[in-house]
Chain A
């Protein structure tokens, strides 16, 4: 068996573009999914039962079905049934954001509920509104606590973006698999793909470890 790595060197620009798209997609998704998760968490602990029910239904449907199904659903069903025709990129962003928002909402909710009641009482006793207590007292503490969990979600998201290659978004997986199909250099292309994912993912995993240590709860 002979290796021909020239296929990588002559297409490295394309691969790096794919890697760039992976980063953009993951970053935009998280940018949407953090406020999205906060909003869903707020609805799930709201005192209005109807809001709780809607938010819970939303979160549980996205958490309990495979991401790839959600991507396909957004890609095929939205345009066919609802006449909403989005670009593959927008479709991918929509599906990923909804999915990660649902996971983030559970993370935030757990974080908020882990702050003891006395902290809320202390805020209220100063004359703060419930919203001010949430913003200045509870959320900052909850966020510190869930930062490691959010970082883990980020690392998963980073790899899960590969699933949107199924709807022709030109991120790293799509670009690599296309290159493999065109050149038949399976081993070389998949190796290059693995190296790129690893080179981007490993430092992130290390960062998560560091966050876990740095933000250990001290009371």
Chain B
């Protein structure tokens, strides 16, 4: 079980996991335009090592865009993104090296349909890291066991359920032994009955101390697993804090109204349902 990681600093501000170290990922006044649309509006926040942060907010509020900017699948129009001390958007940065240390999980899985499950997991380590097929296979089998799908190694992705595909996609990203995992709405494309299996794999990863940045609409997951929750609206960060603050005592009215639109009315009312 994960230990409760919140505390209070001497100055009264909530302490964050990994505050003693340099943060792994820093967003500084990040701006992104799509034509006239301001997709990211001066977004500033940090992710510490060992921390699980969830990005929540209405659809189209810029959460996914921010994630894709973090590993340079999208360019930014202003500000800086610093990953492990390196400016992601600088022209002198070797983006491929950075991406090797960031695992990415997509909403639509994006498994490679022409490869078996095993080869989906080994292709990164063999092609990018130059690992031997033998070593890559050993690692892949281990990861498949970890996500609970050891018997699916020789199947093609099309033969798997959505939840199984997403678990393979998580294993594929983990095969690169990344320093941080980025999840872009990992359960949004899933049938309700397979969401749980993906979330529990993610929960286990978090318990093992993996640094994670998760864009999600699963408020229960955010509340139970996140160390830090960041709320987006219309491209801007409107509130951030520990889950206890965001879900029980949001400081910003807009956070409260977003959560209540989702049917979230704070823990007291949820408990009240049990009467």
Contacts and interface: CB of A to CB of B under 8 A. Distances in A.
Interface residues of A, number: 18
B113 interface: yes
B114 A140 contact: yes
Interface residues of B, number: 24
Interface of B: 68, 71, 73, 96-97, 99-100, 102, 104, 106, 108, 110-114, 123-124, 127-128, 158, 172-173, 176
B127 A136 contact: yes
Contacts, number: 58
B113 A125 contact: no
Given A126-B172, A127-B124, A119 B112 contact: yes
B110 A122 contact: yes
B104 A125 contact: yes
A50 interface: no
A141 B96 contact: no
A124 interface: yes
Interface of A: 118-119, 121-122, 124-129, 132, 136-137, 140-141, 144, 218-219
Contacts of A136: 123, 127
B176 A126 contact: yes
Given A126-B176, A127-B96, A144 B114 contact: yes
A141 B108 CA distance: 17
B158 A127 contact: no
A127 B100 CA distance: 5
Query: Which 9 pairs, one residue from A and one from B, show the smallest C-beta to C-beta distance?
Result: A127-B100, A122-B110, A125-B104, A126-B124, A127-B99, A118-B110, A127-B128, A127-B96, A140-B114
A125 B127 contact: no
A171 to B, nearest CB: 37
Contacts of A218: 113, 158
